[in-house]
Structure 1
Amino acid sequence: MTADGPLTVVEFTDPACPWAWGSEPKFRWLRAALDGVAAWRRVYGILFDDDDDPAPDPDAEAAWYHRYIAGIAAHTGAPYASRLRWVARSSWPSSLAAKAAEAQGAQTAAFVLRRLRETTFLLGAPADDVEGVLDAVTGVPGLDHARLVRDLVSDDVRSAVRRDWTETREPYPEVLTVEGAGPHPGAAKEVGGRYRFALPTLVFTGPAGRAVVPGWRELGEYVEAAARVAPGLCLEVPPRTPEELLERHRSLTGPELILLAGSAAPPRGAVRFDGAGGPVWLHPVEAATHPVSRL
C-alpha cells in the first residue's frame, strides 16, 4: 500500500452533521486504509453558526429536524436518537473541543469527536455549549480533561476553528455545480450570501493533482479518487474481529461492523445501546463514563 509521493486528505465536517455521522463507517475504513500513507486533516465547517436566527418554536424545530435526521438515516443506515430534544444552537463549542483535542493525539481526538457526535445522534441532546461539551467527553480514554478545559477556550484554538470556518466557505469551482444520484450529491451550499462546502466533503491531493468527493458517496468513489491523485496506490483493509474493532474504536454501529468486520455479529462483552434505526455497541470501559450510562 504505497504511493509515489505524499497524499493528503482534508475532511470538511461538523460534529452535528447527520450526513457526516452516516459516513463514519466509510471514513473509518478509509482512515485505516490510509494509515501511514496519507496525512488526514479535519476542517470544522460550523453547520450551526452563532449568528443563526433562533427558531420561533424550538420544539417544532426539533420535531422537524428529527424527521430530517430519520430521513437521512434511511439512506445511511446510521442509528439515531429516538427523540431529538433540541436542535444544536451552535457548532462552535463542539468544534472548538474537537480541534483542541487534536493536540493530545489523533486517537484521543477521534474519541472526543465521536462522543460529541453521539450527543446528537444517540442522546438527542447536542453538546452545544461549553458545559455540555465538557460533560460529554468526561472519561474519554487518554484525554487530559483539564488541558482540554484550558485549550478549548484559548485564542489559538478559536483562531484555528475560525480558519476552518473560512476555508469551508471557499469551495473549489468543481463543487459549485455538482450533479449526482441520491439526496445529497454534495453541491456547495449557499449560506449567508456565500457558498460553503457541503458536509461532509473529502479532498484528496497527491502527485497527480486534486480530487474532491462531496456529499453522500459510495466507498468506491473515495477509493477511486485517492488512486487518481496518487497513481499506484492500492487501498485495502483486512477485516478485523468485532472485538478488535471495539478495542480500537470504543463505539461501533451496525454499519461499521458490517463494513469493517464483514459481519453484523456484536463484539463479545460489548454494552448495547438501542437507538432508532439500530444499536450502538460500546466498550465496557467506554460505557462506564459515556453519557448514555446516565439515561
Structure 2
Amino acid sequence: MGSPAVGGPATARAAADGGGGTGADGAVEVVEYTDPLCPWSWGAEPVLRRLRAALPDRVRWRRVYAILFDHDDDPPPDPAAETAWYARYVAGVTEHTGAPCAARLSRVAASSWPASLVARAAELQGARAAEAVLRRLRETVFVLGEPADTAELALAAVRGLPGLDLRRLAADAASAQVLRQVRADRAEARRPVPEALSAPAGSPHPGLAKETADGDRRYALPTLLLRAPAGYRVVPGWRTFEEYTAALDDLCPGLLAGGVPPPDAGRLPAATALARYRSLTDPERLLLAEGPWPPPDAVRVETGNGPLWLHPAEAAGHPAARR
C-alpha cells in the first residue's frame, strides 16, 4: 500500500482547520474520524485496536463522530433496492477487510446521530465503557444486520454491558451537552486539512475526502490525524499497521518504545485477549492474540463473513448470542 499523506509543520491555519496544534501540555494526539455505522471503520478495528495497544499512555486518542448518515439525507425512493445495493457494498468492503458482515441487512441506516450521541455519552462513564458501547453499536449493523439508527435501538444494543449505567447513558445521550459535542464533531469532520483532499493510492479505500450533499468536504472514514507540537500527519482510509506506525515515527521519532513494532508484537495469550477485548473477529484475534484458538469458553457467533468470538461474560448479554 502507498505511504500515508504527510502534513507540514503546525501553523495557525492548520490549527484552525483541525490539523496542527495539541493540548496545552503539548501532548501527542491521535484524532480518529469515524462513525459507529461505517463499514470501513468496522474493518479497520483490528489495526486500530492494535495501534491503541502499542501507544504509550501519554498519547491521547480522541474520536470524532463524522455522521455518515445525516438527518437531511434524502430518503431512498425504493428502500428495498437501496438496502440490496448497500448490502452488496458492505459485502464488498468485508472482502477487502475480512471483517464480519451480517447474513442479512434489514435496511440502510436512517441516521448516524442516535448511535453517535450514545457513543459520545458513554465516554462520560470512562474509557472502558466507551470502548464497549462503540463496539456494540458497530455490531448492530455488521453482525446483527439491524443498525442502531434510533435512540431506542442504540440504547437497547448496549443493555447488559457490565458496569454500564444505562439510565445515566440515556440521560447523557439526550443532553444538550452531548448534542453540542456531536454537532462539533460533525463540523470538525467537515474541515479537512489540505492533505486530506488528495490521497495516496495502494489501498482499496485510499481515503480521499468525500464531497457531502451540501457541497462540503468531509474526512473519509476512517482517517487518523496525528498531531504533535512539531506538526501533523494524515493517514486516510483503510491502512496497514505499518503505515500508521511509520507516520507516528516520522512525526515523533522515539515515541514508540523500541522503534516501530511489527504487527504481531505484544499479542496476548488467546484467553487473555478475549477477556481483554470481550469481542473479537477473526482478523482481530490473528493480530491481537497468540496461541491455540479458540479459548475453551469462547462463544462463537456466525455471521455472513466468518465468526465473531465473544467472551462468555459478553455473550451473556449480547443480542447476537440470544439468536
Which shifted more, 205-214 or 41-50? Answer: 205-214
Q: CA deviation at 1:208?
A: 3.1
Counterpart residue type for residue 13 of structure 1? T
Kindly state the Cα deviation for residue 264 of structure 1 after the two structures are TM-superposed. Answer: 7.4
The equivalent residue for 1:259 is 287
Identify the residue that residue 225 of structure 1 maps to in structure 2: 247
Q: Which residue of 1 aligns with 2:133?
A: 112
Identity %: 56
2:302 aligns to what SS in structure 1?
strand
Q: Secondary structure at the residue paired with 1:42? A: strand
Residue 142 (structure 1) aligns with: 163
Deviation at 1:241, TM superposition (A): 1.0
Conserved in 2, the CA contact under 8 Å of 1:246 and 1:282? yes
CA contact (8 A) 1:202 1:212 kept: yes
* 8 Å CA contact 2:44, 2:238 repeated in 1: yes
1:252/1:281 contact within 8 Å kept: yes
Q: SS where residue 289 of structure 1 aligns?
A: coil
Counterpart in the other structure of 1:74: 95
Query: Any conservation in 2 of the 1:251–1:281 contact (CA below 8 Å)?
Result: yes
Contact 2:270/2:290 (<8 A) preserved: no
Within a 5 Å distance, the mapping from 1:269-288 to structure 2 comes to: 269-288=297-316
1:290 aligned residue: 318
What is the deviation of 1:58? Answer: 1.1
Counterpart residue number, 1:165: 186
Determine whether 1:196 maps to 2:224: no
Q: Per-residue deviation at 1:61?
A: 0.9
1:246 to partner: Cα distance: 1.1
Q: Per-residue displacement from partner, 1:170-226 (whole Å, max 9, x unpaired)?
A: 000001121312321001000021100000000111243101000011111100111
Gaps of 5+ in 2: 1-25
Moved more, 173-182 or 70-79: 173-182
Among residues 133, 136, 149, which one is paired with 1:128 in the alignment? 149
Structure 1 residue 285, shift from structure 2 partner = 1.3
- Per the alignment, in what secondary structure is the counterpart of residue 44 of structure 2? helix
Distance, in Å, in 2 between the alignment partners of 1:56 and 1:62 is: 11
Partner of 1:215: 237
Give the whole-Å Cα distance in 2 for the aligned partners of 1:33 and 1:205.
Answer: 17
Structure 1 pair 145/139, CA: closer, same or farther in 2 (3 Å)?
A: same
Residue correspondence of structure 1 range 42-61 to structure 2 within 5 A:
42-61=63-82
Q: Give distance in 1, aligned partners of 2:173 and 2:314.
A: 22
Give how far 1:141 is off: 1.9
Question: CA separation in 2, counterparts of 1:215 and 1:264?
Answer: 32
Q: CA deviation at 1:261?
A: 1.6
The answer to whether the Cα contact below 8 Å between 1:10 and 1:41 also exists between their aligned partners in 2 is yes
Measure the CA separation in 2 of the matches of 1:178 and 1:262.
34
TM-score, length-scaled by structure 1: 0.96
Post-superposition Cα deviations, 1:225-256, rounded to whole Å, max 9, x if no partner, equal 11111111225441101111111111000001
Cα separation, 1, equivalents of 2:147 and 2:131: 17
Take 1:219 and 1:263, find their aligned partners in 2: how far apart are those partners?
Answer: 21
- For 2:306, give the aligned amino acid: G
Q: Distance in 2 between matches of 1:28 and 1:6?
A: 20
Tell me what 1:103 maps to.
124
Distance 1:56 1:199 in 2: 26
Q: Match of 1:74, SS?
A: helix
The one-letter amino acid paired with 1:247 is A
Q: Which runs of 5+ in 1 are unaligned?
A: none
- State the alpha-carbon separation in 2 of the partners of residues 142 and 248 from structure 1: 15
Query: Are the counterparts in 2 of residues 48 and 88 from structure 1 also a CA contact under 8 Å?
Result: yes
